[in-house]
């Protein structure tokens, strides 16, 4: 009897971890407020799944794959939780905006997509080339602050001592048509900024003007302007997508429309995990960054009783290199690599001699980073790979 494949997608967000499964054409999505470590969250997600998945896709902030040391550290933490601690194998990793682009591209067709995510803790913008069953990241701009959390605080401060209802935004969504019209008129005629945008009811009525809401939204607008300028790269997108916890707000829609000249498609909060599910089932494949260098570790080995030079490949498509025995003994704070045929040296400050696993992580800002993880407990080293060329290192 053949067992039907079962696919699992996890969207590990700042506020909520979303879980999606696909089995015999049945799709299920569950929201789960995060608690404990990343490993705890993933373990809880696996307990909710109907069985052992055939394929797993995990989506995380796109900036973790930028090739920066900070992003690679965050990625390495969750990768280790999923693969090393929980034993998941062959995990597909993708950025959250890339997953949204994959999902929208599946629905609307190939093209160039600009995705704006006004999330819980910040604003992110990305540009993607979406093909027939593929998605490729072109650029990402991410900036903390100015997300739903800060906007919510600002609106509550405007309301004064009499607090707004806990879920005041539900009332605001119901008044979306009226608010959209009020904001549109004020953007065309500043003398309309004192018009009422919303009337929210708590212990008393809270009339909120266009001007008040614009002031609360100003940090978001600033980040959207910077992000759209950075991510667009001077090229016009075919489709603009607005997503995230503040995607419902009319000013977000109107701002993106004004800056791009395109009315954005507004998605629900589950589009990222739905896109990850497409990748888990291989309906969409994330194309790797272009221009990755070949990276290897020069070594000596005994062959037929003779000492000869060899090289251990550091593959981009696996977490770590696979030397005989599984680990490498390291005893120096300097490690010589061969990058695109040239010797380069990386420093590993404070390295404690012992057995290690080493691997490379790609990014759009090539050449990426080197990850050096102790075989036992200990600090993980994450360092930028030096570029190939005359500068950046020396031979052994």
CA distances from 238 to 100, 130, 151, 268 (A): 15, 10, 29, 20
End-to-end CA distance of the chain: 57
The third-level CATH classification (topology) of the domain covering 6-108+270-286 is Nucleotidyltransferase; domain 5 (3.30.420)
Domain boundaries, the chain: 6-108+270-286, 142-265, 295-384
* pLDDT of res. 169: 93
Residue with the larger pLDDT of the pair 378 and 314: 314
Give helix then strand counts, H and E, for the chain.
9, 21
3-state secondary structure (DSSP) of residue 8? strand
The per-residue pLDDT for range 187-214, each reduced to its tens digit, is 999 999 999 999 998 778 899 999 999 9
| Predicted confidence band of residue 215 (pLDDT cuts 50, 70, 90) | very high
Residue with the larger pLDDT of the pair 35 and 316: 316
* pLDDT of res. 289: 78
Asked if residue 257 has pLDDT above 70, the reply is: yes
Average pLDDT for residues 1-11, to the nearest whole number? Answer: 73
Asked if 96 and 117 count as a contact pair (C-beta separation under 8 A), the reply is yes
The count of residues in the chain is: 396
Place of tokens 């069985």: 51
| Predicted confidence band of residue 102 (pLDDT cuts 50, 70, 90) | very high
What are the helix (H) ranges across the chain?
Answer: 38-48, 69-79, 96-108, 148-159, 168-174, 176-188, 210-232, 250-260, 271-280
Asked if 254 and 197 count as a contact pair (C-beta separation under 8 A), the reply is no
Place of tokens 């980073």: 369
Asked if residue 233 has pLDDT above 80, the reply is: no
Asked if 145 and 272 count as a contact pair (C-beta separation under 8 A), the reply is no
Quote the strand ranges of 272-353, DSSP E.
285-286, 295-303, 306-313, 328-330, 334-339, 342-347
Please give the full DSSP string across 25-76, using - where no structure is assigned. TEEEEEEE---S-HHHHHHHHHHHSSS--SEEEEEE-GGGGSS-HHHHHHHH
* pLDDT of res. 3: 61
Average pLDDT for residues 28-43, to the nearest whole number? Answer: 67
Asked if residue 66 has pLDDT above 80, the reply is: yes
Q: What is the rounded CA–CA span in Å between residue 199 and residue 231?
A: 36
Nearest to 93 by CA among 106, 107, 76: 76
Quote the mean pLDDT of the chain. 86
| H-helix or E-strand spanning residue 240 | strand 239-243
Asked if residue 13 has pLDDT above 90, the reply is: no
Percent of residues, the chain, with pLDDT higher than 90: 51
The β-bridge relationship of strands 55-60 and 92-95 is parallel
Asked if residue 304 has pLDDT above 60, the reply is: no
Asked if residue 393 has pLDDT above 50, the reply is: no
Average pLDDT for residues 152-174, to the nearest whole number? Answer: 91
Q: Which of 22-31, 222-231, 380-389 has the lowest mean pLDDT?
A: 22-31
């Amino acid at each position: 009897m053949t067992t039907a494949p079962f696919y699992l997608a996890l969207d590990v967000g700042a506020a909520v971890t979303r879980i999606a499964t696909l089995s015999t054409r049945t799709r299920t999505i569950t929201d789960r407020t995060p608690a404990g470590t990343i490993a705890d969250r993933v373990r809880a997600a696996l307990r909710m799944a109907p069985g052992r998945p055939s394929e797993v896709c995990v989506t995380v902030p796109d900036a973790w794959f930028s090739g920066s040391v900070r992003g690679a550290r965050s990625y390495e933490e969750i990768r280790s939780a999923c693969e090393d601690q929980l034993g998941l194998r062959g995990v597909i990793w993708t950025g959250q905006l890339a997953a949204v682009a994959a999902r929208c591209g599946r629905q609307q067709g190939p093209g160039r997509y600009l995705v704006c995510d006004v999330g819980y803790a910040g604003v992110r913008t990305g540009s993607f080339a979406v093909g027939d069953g593929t998605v490729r990241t072109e650029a990402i701009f991410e900036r903390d602050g100015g997300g739903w959390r800060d906007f919510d605080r600002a609106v509550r401060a405007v309301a004064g001592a009499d607090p707004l209802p806990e879920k005041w935004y539900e009332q605001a969504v119901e008044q979306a048509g009226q608010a959209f019209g009020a904001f549109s008129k004020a953007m065309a005629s500043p003398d309309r900024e004192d018009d009422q945008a919303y009337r929210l009811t708590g212990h008393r009525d809270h009339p909120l003007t266009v001007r008040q809401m614009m002031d609360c939204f100003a940090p978001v607008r600033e980040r959207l302007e910077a992000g759209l300028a950075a991510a667009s790269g001077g090229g016009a997108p075919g489709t603009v997508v607005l997503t995230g916890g503040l995607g419902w707000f009319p000013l977000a829609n109107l701002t993106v429309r004004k800056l791009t000249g395109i009315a954005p498609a507004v998605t629900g909060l589950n589009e990222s995990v739905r896109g990850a599910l497409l990748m888990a089932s291989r309906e969409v494949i994330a194309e790797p960054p272009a221009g990755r260098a070949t990276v290897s570790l020069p070594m000596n080995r005994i062959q037929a009783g003779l000492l000869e030079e060899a090289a251990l490949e550091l593959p981009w498509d696996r977490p770590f290199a696979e030397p005989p025995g599984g680990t490498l003994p390291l005893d120096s704070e300097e490690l010589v690599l061969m990058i695109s045929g040239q010797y380069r040296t990386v420093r590993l400050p404070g390295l404690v001699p012992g057995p290690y696993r080493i691997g490379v992580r790609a990014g759009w800002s090539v050449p990426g980073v080197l990850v050096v993880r102790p075989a036992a407990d200990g600090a993980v080293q994450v360092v930028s790979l030096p570029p190939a060329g005359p500068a950046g290192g020396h031979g052994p």
